[in-house]
Amino acid sequence: MLLILGASRRAFEAQELVRFGEWTLPRSGALLGWQLTGKILGILGMGRIGQAVAKRARAFGMKIHYSNLHQLPEEKAGDAVFNADPLELLGLSQFLSLHAPETEKTHHFLNAKTIPLLPPGQL
């Protein structure tokens, strides 16, 4: 969750500006980034860890979509939307969190062919 927050608020870029003495008010305002509320978090692998991330992301008002080998029962999935096709999940995900074990299907899941399926950045 910390990585999602850091990415959404462009924390790495901001600390680089501070580190190199380039932090100025007009420039710092350009690094506001995204709020998480209302954004879609795609989770590939909705096991124990994926479910824990989903729980925390909901606290920030994120909408959860997931892809997994099997659809979770409603009591475990809650309001999360199941996507049987992981490539379909990519097209919806404004943020993506990977929690699947490495298998033939998941090895190099993100690559030159699949990364362009993610929505274009808005920053």
pLDDT interval class at 28 (50, 70, 90): low
Rounded to an integer, what distance in angstroms lies between the CA atom of residue 92 and that of residue 84?
13
Q: Domain coordinates of the chain in residue numbers?
A: 1-34, 36-117
Question: Does domain 36-117 sit in CATH 3.20.20.210?
Answer: no
Element (H, E) at 45: none
Q: What is the pLDDT of residue 123?
A: 41
Q: What percent of the chain has pLDDT over 90?
A: 72
pLDDT interval class at 44 (50, 70, 90): very high
Rounded to an integer, what distance in angstroms lies between the CA atom of residue 11 and that of residue 122?
16
Q: What is the DSSP string of 77-98?
A: HTTPEE-SSHHHHHHH-SEEEE
Rounded to the nearest integer, the mean pLDDT of the chain is 91
Q: Which residue has the higher pLDDT, 38 or 13?
A: 38
pTM of the entire predicted model:
0.87
Q: What percent of the chain has pLDDT over 70?
A: 93
